[in-house]
Chains A and B, each alone.
Chain A
């Protein structure tokens, strides 16, 4: 299979503009004749559904939450990047493009990244017009901050709740279309399968999570905006309901899964406190702007209180190792260094899995009031969860799974290799390479939904004829039947273990063997244990109740079943990528200073995997990557 990126050639600065002109348009009067399905209602799905409805398409939008306003985009704290250069500090579209390609460790597609940087400025305009209350200066102008490894202040924010405000903007735009009858919303509904007819995506199978009713929805195109797969690790900063089911079902129907081993570990989360832990809470990375990261120099001091460790006995290891970026090094580097000092036995707190994030200098310099204005809500949250007051004692933080750069393979038009199946936002693989920079996820979700899909979907629809396909077509009936059979199977195993217990066990395998650092021996062990666990799952699962009711164990069983297949693919991908890049760190491949060592000669490609059945080796397809503008170099943040 040849993977065509369909990215336009020529000068990168005019590619998107030319492509927009070359794409076919759907006549305004004809748009209402097309039916489009959008799965997911976060920044990508919500903005796509709203914008497509606004253009005149008939849209059906689905989400598993009780309202589209609750999608996990809402939890993004820090901000959204845009190359506005409002600060006159040297930013430009080209610089945002450059930073994103470099930050992604040269494993993203240049054309997509350039378009993302270009659209970033439109997003801010759009959001302000919708009433998103971004932070402002006393002049009334928009405020910016520097964020996550950027040397310019290009991040727009709304206190620590930027994701919430952007999502509510998209949700309100979506609500307007729902009221106009252009979008029909299906909350508390999960997607169980994709229906492919004559090689094109023409519908989905869903389950109403209240009544339990399964049904088929047919359309002319299907858009998946269903987020990432971070919950394969069980503990992550994702919402509990986040899952890989929609992407995985599409994968099983032929869509390629790209770079699943690229997972992002966020350096500033609240450490695990016990076995009952159900999720990890992120503390915004913006805290690193004013907080200083340290651990004791000597192992013997880890049991002491932070205050009793003298200044000279503290190791501000990020400032020491990376003098020019200091505490603001990118996420992968900050995370790996935290793991390293903890592995040396210098970690603090229960289990030795934590490092200090200390605000005492910032409080001295700026005063408590200024620190509270910037981070008050985060400090409060920290205190609620841990019982410690960060104004008095340093926070304890530890890395946790936060975002997944891998996802379904898409071309420049955001269409997967299955025609008519588009993938937006975190669910696709396209823009962040092997590591995502802070404040870039919100940018990508909204760029895809507001400004890319409205053009590329029209282009797809205008190019071909769509014979009507009914719910009773053979492919639809088959997909519905297999979804029903799977539910029956979950309910009939009647074993001893809950879906949650399998999920926890899978998560531990993935975190230990395919987490912050990976090696061949560990990955091979995971590839042995995951299939064994999956086998046990199908023999020893216990789901009570019936399929015809609100049944949360049944929902979880379906999600865990897919994670048990997905986890294996992730480890396979990590094993084949014999290099370190971004969030993928193979301990066999590091420089003398312990930094990630890429192998550009062998691995400058996208690894896109084809499903070959449960227990069969997936087939690898490669999309070679070229770097005509930003030339691969060793990332250095010294």
Chain B
């Protein structure tokens, strides 16, 4: 098939970007979307033109490195699919594609389709973990975990941190990303001791990074390549309310413990 591409080109973070137009023929329907861009890049290089920079790594939908907005949809038109697993059979001959980077204040563009998502890492650093020192663990079967809790935790933990939820949200909120981690750890007995401090710290870091608030547009769930449910956001909100009520208490206890 033959495609008409409009791709966002921006040399670096401070430069002004713009769409550039390309025509690409001989696109096979068995190609992945990124392989289609590989072919374009080989062609551009052969013509002495700068290839399009885009993030990618595993190309099997799990590392979360790739991601671009295709015709207004993060990761393109196919539900529950990362850009690397999107295949050209989802398009047809003569299609016109607008390809852009994630757009959010907290994800500055580094070059072309590559954005800086280190804000996500800082959110996890603020509390998205269980403090389990290596060497201290009890036997793995010593604490039973009901299958339903383990399964729900797993579903939330399936988040790949790609940022599509932010790109899809009109407020550029990272609420689904934060909620997935809060819910994953909060569903497990091991996650209970830090449950309320975790949610408080992570939400406040999300705000500090410049992500917007959640106003229930639900675009995040529709765009999520792993199908993570917004019910986790509801759970986060419940934990957050509790956390705010108990914050003063916790502070008093921890200061007194000195």
Q: Determine the distance from Cα of A145 to Cα of B146 in the docked complex, in whole angstroms.
A: 19
A241 and B57 CA atoms in complex are apart in Å by 6
Residues of the B chain whose Cβ atoms lie less than 8 Å from the Cβ of A128:
137, 140, 143, 190
Chain B nearest CB from A187 CB (Å) reads 7
A124-B140, A176-B129 as given contacts; A137 in contact with B50, CB under 8 Å: no
Instruction: List A73-124 residues whose CB lies under 8 Å from chain B.
Output: 74-75, 84, 86, 122, 124
| Docked pose: A158 CA to B42 CA in angstroms | 39
Contact assessment for B141 and A141 in the assembled complex, using a CB-CB cutoff below 8 Å:
yes
Q: Which of the candidate stretches B152-160, B229-237, B242-250 sits at the interface with the other chain?
A: B152-160
- Which residues from B are CB-within-8-Å of A454? 134
B56 interface residue, CB < 8 Å from A?
Answer: yes
Taking the complex as formed, is B212 at the interface, i.e. its CB lies under 8 A from any CB of chain A?
A: no
Q: How far is the CB of B255 from chain A (nearest CB, A)?
A: 20
Q: A67 contacts which of B32, B118, B135 (Cβ < 8 Å)? A: B118
Binary interface encoding of chain B residues 109-136 relative to chain A, with 1 for a CB under 8 A from any of its CBs, else 0: 0110010111011001110111111111
Chain B residues with CB under 8 Å of A47's CB are 134
Interface residues as binary, A130-161 with B (CB distance below 8 Å gives 1, 0 otherwise): 11011111111110000000000000001101
Taking A130-B130, A133-B157 as contacts, is the C-beta distance between A276 and B39 under 8 angstroms? yes
Q: Is B213 on the interface with A (CB-CB < 8 A)?
A: no
* A interface, size bucket: 35 or more
The answer, yes or no, to whether B161 is at the interface (CB within 8 Å) is yes
Asked if A133 contacts B147 (CB within 8 A), the reply is: no
A278 within 8 A of B: yes
In the assembled complex, how far is the CB of residue B18 from the closest CB belonging to chain A, in whole angstroms?
18
Contact B125 A175 (CB under 8 A): yes
Q: In the bound complex, how far is the Cα of B12 from the Cα of A135, in angstroms?
A: 44
Complex Cα gap A75–B64 (Å) = 11
CA–CA, A274 and B87, complex, Å:
13
Is A598 an interface position by the 8 A CB rule? Answer: no
Min CB distance B204 to A, Å, is: 13
Per-position binary interface string of chain A over residues 372-409, scored 1 when its CB falls under 8 Å from any chain B CB and 0 otherwise:
00000000110011110000000000000000000000
B65 touches A129 (CB 8 A): no
The reply to whether B117 and A165 contact each other, CB–CB distance below 8 Å, is no
- From A141, A179, A550, contact of B126 by CB (8 A): A179
Is A239 in contact with B137, judged by CB distance below 8 angstroms?
A: no
Q: 0/1 per residue, B207-219, Cβ < 8 Å to A?
A: 0000000000000
Does the CB pair B145–A136 fall under 8 Å?
yes
Q: Contact between A129 and B132 (Cβ–Cβ < 8 Å)?
A: yes
- Contact: B118 with A134, CB < 8 Å? no
Looking at B134, B161, B184, which has the most chain A CB atoms within 10 Å of its CB? Answer: B134
Within the assembled complex, what's the spacing in Å between the Cα atoms of A501 and B42? 9
Expressed in whole angstroms, the minimum distance between the Cβ of B154 and any Cβ of chain A is: 4
Whether A171 lies near B147 (C-beta < 8 A) is no
Chain A residues near B128 (CB-CB < 8 A)? 172, 175
Cβ B158 vs Cβ A161 within 8 A: yes
Given A67-B118, A72-B57, A74-B62, A168:B157 Cβ within 8 A: yes
**Chain A: minimal CB distance from B198 (Å):** 11
Contact A500 B38 (CB under 8 A): yes
Chain B residues in 8 Å Cβ range of A124: 140
From A279, which residue of chain B is reached at the shortest CB distance? B59
Enumerate A201-252 residues with CB–CB distance to B below 8 Å. Answer: 210, 237, 239-241
53-105 of chain B: CB within 8 A of chain A: 53, 55-65, 78, 80-81, 85, 87, 89
A540 at the interface (CB under 8 A from B): no
Q: Which of A23-31, A324-332, A541-549 contacts B (4 or more CB under 8 A)?
A: A541-549
Q: Among the listed A75, A164, A544, which residue makes an inter-chain contact with B51, where contact means beta carbons less than 8 Å apart?
A: A544
CB pair B120–A67 under 8 Å, yes or no, is yes
Chain A residues in 8 Å Cβ range of B139: 125
Nearest-Cβ distance from residue A97 to partner chain B, whole angstroms: 20
Are A239 and B58 in contact, with the CB atoms below 8 A? yes
Q: Does chain B have a CB within 8 A of A65?
A: yes
CA distance A282 to B151 in the complex (A): 24
Interchain CB contact (< 8 A) of B11 among A54, A67, A176, A549: A549
Q: Which residue of A lies closest to B133 (CB)?
A: A54
Question: Which residues does chain A contribute within 8 Å of B89, judged by CB atoms?
Answer: 387
Distance, CA A72 to CA B64, complexed state (A): 11
In chain A, residues 438-460, which have Cβ atoms closer than 8 Å to a Cβ of chain B? Answer: 450-451, 454
Q: Give B184 Cβ to nearest chain A Cβ, in Å.
A: 7
A518, CB-defined interface residue at 8 Å = no
* A592 vs B225: C-alpha distance when bound (angstroms): 50
A68→B117 CA distance, assembly (Å) = 12
Is there a chain A Cβ closer than 8 Å to B23's Cβ?
Answer: no
Are the C-beta atoms of B184 and A133 separated by less than 8 Å? yes
Residue in B85, B144, B154 whose Cβ sees the most chain A Cβ within 10 Å: B154
B252 in the interface (beta carbon within 8 A): no
Complex Cα gap A544–B46 (Å)? 10
- Whether B39 pairs with A129 at a CB distance below 8 angstroms is no
Instruction: Render A36-70 as a binary contact track against B, CB cut-off 8 A, 1 for contact.
Output: 00000000000100110010000000000111111
With both beta carbons as reference points, the residue of chain B lying nearest to A158 in the complex is identified as B154
Q: Which of B12, B48, B136, B140 contacts A84 (CB 8 A)?
A: B140
Q: B28 — which chain A residues lie within 8 A by C-beta?
A: 273-274, 276
B150 at the interface (CB under 8 A from A): yes
Q: Would you call A142 and B140 a contact (CB within 8 A)?
A: yes
Check if A126 is an interface residue, CB within 8 A of chain B: yes
Asked if A572 CB lies within 8 Å of chain B CBs, one says no
Check B50 against A545 for contact (C-beta < 8 Å): yes
Min distance, Cβ A410 to any Cβ of chain B, angstroms: 21
A176 to B111, CA, bound (A): 30
CA distance A387 to B85 in the complex (A): 12
Given the known inter-chain contacts A137-B147, A239-B63, A384-B81, please indicate yes or no for A131 contacting B126, CB distance below 8 A: no
Minimum Cβ distance to chain A for residue B194 (Å): 10
A66 and B118 contacting across the interface, CB-CB below 8 Å: yes
- Nearest CB of B to A395, in Å: 16
Does B16 reach chain A (CB closer than 8 Å)? no
Chain B contacts for A470, CB-based, 8 A: none
Chain B residues contacting A65 (CB-CB under 8 Å) are 57, 63, 65
Min distance, Cβ B196 to any Cβ of chain A, angstroms: 16
- Is A277 at the interface (CB under 8 A from chain B)? yes
Measured CB to CB, the closest approach of chain B to A131, in angstroms, equals 5
Question: Could you say which of A139, A240, A241 has the most chain B C-beta atoms within 10 Å of its C-beta?
Answer: A240
Encode contact with B along A243-275: 1 for CB under 8 Å, 0 otherwise.
Answer: 000000000000000000000000000000110
B21 at the interface (CB under 8 A from A): no
Q: Is the CB of A67 within 8 A of B121?
A: yes
A75 partner residues in chain B, CB cutoff 8 A:
58, 60, 62-63
Is residue B188 contacting chain A, with contact meaning CB distance below 8 A? yes
Instruction: Pick from B78, B124, B188: contact of A171, CB below 8 A.
Output: B124
Complex contacts, A520 vs chain B, CB 8 Å: none
For B136, what are the chain A residues with a Cβ–Cβ distance below 8 Å?
129
Contacts of B154 in A (CB 8 A): 133, 135, 158-159, 165
Given A66-B118, A276-B39, A129 and B137 contact (CB-CB distance below 8 Å)? yes
Judge whether B57 and A69 touch: CB under 8 Å.
Answer: no
The answer to whether residues A274 and B45 also contact, given A66-B65, A122-B137, A125-B139 and a CB cut-off of 8 A, is no
**How many Å from the CB of A511 to the closest CB on chain B?**
18
B129 and A172 contact, CB distance less than 8 A: yes
* Residue of B whose beta carbon sits closest to that of A498: B45
Q: Are the CB atoms of B51 and A131 closer together than 8 Å?
A: no
Nearest first, the 9 A-B pairs at minimum CB distance are A140-B144, A172-B129, A129-B137, A125-B137, A129-B132, A133-B154, A179-B125, A128-B140, A133-B153
Inter-chain pairs besides A86-B141, A136-B151, A274-B30, 14 sampled, C-beta below 8 Å: A54-B134, A66-B117, A67-B118, A69-B161, A75-B60, A130-B190, A131-B157, A158-B157, A278-B34, A278-B59, A385-B32, A387-B87, A451-B134, A500-B38
10 residue pairs from A and B, CB less than 8 Å apart: A66-B65, A70-B63, A128-B140, A131-B153, A133-B150, A136-B150, A276-B39, A278-B59, A385-B32, A385-B87
